[in-house]
């Protein structure tokens, strides 16, 4: 059963790791590092494509990036994130979109955010042998209807709803549940109650695994700093210094040198100059 290894990891208390990738070079790095999951997140709309939210992202855009990720990480467990435009018309469309991830991009599983038809949709996908990760808490595709990008589950009633949704995802056949931006006590209880692993982002230390956007984690993102993001590197600063050095060396004639170019056989160069004179 796909995903069973992650359920077994939860039972053994082994923490799971997930990061996003949107291209082949990044995916190759994550595979080499041994990540448990690689998520082709619809966050690519904001991180790479310049959209103001994830809502404009199309399935064609997701497939384009998912195929690149699979080429870069042929052995990894790759999860395709179903965008709003790939699920908005209901379970039938969601199934068709999920099949595209599996068949066209070679994904190992799909993830989708909680909606009114989430239970039936999960059952439909699982019935069609498509492994599912459910997503509860802050759901970016519907964030505008819930007061924007803010912590969810801060009242007892709202927190109980998050637990209920997570349990419903599990009972419908999801092999994992992603918890985004929920209070630590809520994430801890959801993790305790579920048989399947929880993957947290902004949900504290008690989840069975963690996920971050790769560009945020390496400090390459220009997005506003988020409280739940730890920057493990400052690649933005390093890249800026490299760009400034490149510009300086080009303007001052330091780069490129002859060694950065290609030679030509002497006789061919002489013949070339002769030919030039006749042009």
Query: What CA–CA distance (Å, rounded) separates 147 from 144?
Result: 6
Q: Are residues 102 and 135 in the same domain?
A: yes
- Cα of 151 vs its chain's centroid, Å: 20
Q: Which tokens go with 221?
A: 């993102």
Q: Domain holding 141: CATH number?
A: 3.20.20.60
Domain of 39, in residue numbers: 4-233
Q: Which residue has the tokens 């068709």?
A: 96
pLDDT, tens digit (0-9, with 9 covering 90-100), for 132-182: 999 999 999 998 787 778 999 999 999 999 999 999 999 999 999 999 999
Q: Are residues 182 and 266 in the same domain?
A: no
- Which is the catalytic residue, given 31, 61, 180, 189? 180
Q: Are residues 36 and 86 in the same domain?
A: yes
Q: Are residues 199 and 243 in the same domain?
A: no
SS (HEC) of the chain: CCCHHHHHHHHHCCCEEEEECCCHHHHHHHHHHCCCEEEECCCHHHHCCCCCCCCCCCHHHHHHHHHHHHHHCCCCCEEEECCHHHCCCCHHHHHHHHHHHHHHCCCCEEEEECCCCHHHHHHHHHHCCCCEEEEEECCHHHHHHHCCCCCCCCCHHHHHHHHHHHHHHHHHCCCEEEEECCCHHHHHHHHHHCCCCEEEECCCCCCCEEEECHHHHCCCCCCCCCCCCCCCCCHHHHHHHHHHHHHHHHHCCCCCCHHHCCCCCHHHHHHHHHHHHCC
Q: Are residues 119 and 173 in the same domain?
A: yes
Q: Are residues 219 and 253 in the same domain?
A: no
Q: Which of 201, 217, 233 is the last residue of a domain?
A: 233
- CA angle (67, 71, 76) in 5-degree steps: 100
Query: What CA–CA distance (Å, rounded) separates 127 from 199?
Result: 23
180 is annotated as an active-site residue: yes
Q: Are residues 256 and 148 in the same domain?
A: no
Q: Domain tally for the chain?
A: 2
Query: What CA–CA distance (Å, rounded) separates 204 from 169?
Result: 21
Q: Are residues 172 and 34 in the same domain?
A: yes
Q: Which residues of the chain have pLDDT under 70?
A: 1-2, 222-225
Q: Are residues 92 and 210 in the same domain?
A: yes
Q: What is the pTM of this model?
A: 0.93
Q: Are residues 251 and 173 in the same domain?
A: no
Residue 225 confidence (pLDDT):
64
Residue 226 confidence (pLDDT):
73
Q: Which residues contact 143 (CB under 8 A, 6 or more apart)?
A: 53, 149
Q: Are residues 143 and 263 in the same domain?
A: no
Residue 222 confidence (pLDDT):
58
Residue 1 confidence (pLDDT):
59
Residue 147 confidence (pLDDT):
75
Q: Are residues 113 and 171 in the same domain?
A: yes
């Amino acid at each position: 059963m796909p995903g069973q290894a992650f359920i077994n990891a939860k039972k053994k208390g082994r923490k799971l790791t997930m990061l996003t990738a949107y291209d082949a070079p990044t995916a190759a790095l994550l595979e080499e590092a041994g990540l448990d999951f690689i998520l082709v997140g619809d966050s690519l709309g904001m991180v790479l494509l310049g959209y103001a939210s994830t809502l404009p992202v199309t399935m064609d855009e997701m497939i384009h990036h998912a195929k690149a990720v699979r080429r870069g990480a042929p052995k990894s467990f790759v999860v395709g994130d179903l965008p709003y435009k790939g699920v908005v018309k209901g379970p039938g469309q969601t199934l068709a979109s999920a099949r595209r991830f599996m068949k066209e991009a070679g994904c190992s599983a799909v993830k989708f955010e909680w909606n009114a038809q989430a239970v039936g949709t999960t059952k439909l996908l699982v019935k069609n042998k498509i492994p599912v990760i459910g997503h509860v808490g802050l759901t970016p595709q519907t964030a505008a209807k819930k007061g924007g990008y803010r912590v969810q589950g801060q009242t007892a009633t709202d927190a109980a709803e998050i637990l209920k949704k997570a349990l419903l995802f599990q009972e419908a056949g999801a092999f994992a549940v992603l918890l985004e931006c929920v209070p630590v006590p809520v994430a801890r209880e959801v993790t305790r109650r579920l048989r399947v692993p929880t993957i947290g982002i902004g949900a504290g230390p008690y989840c069975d695994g963690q996920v971050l956007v790769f560009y945020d984690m390496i400090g390459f993102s220009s997005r506003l700093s988020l409280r739940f993001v730890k920057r493990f590197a400052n690649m933005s600063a390093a890249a800026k210094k490299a760009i400034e050095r490149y510009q300086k060396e080009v303007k001052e004639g330091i780069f490129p040198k002859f060694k950065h170019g290609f030679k030509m056989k002497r006789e061919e160069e002489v013949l070339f100059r002769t030919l030039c004179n006749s042009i």
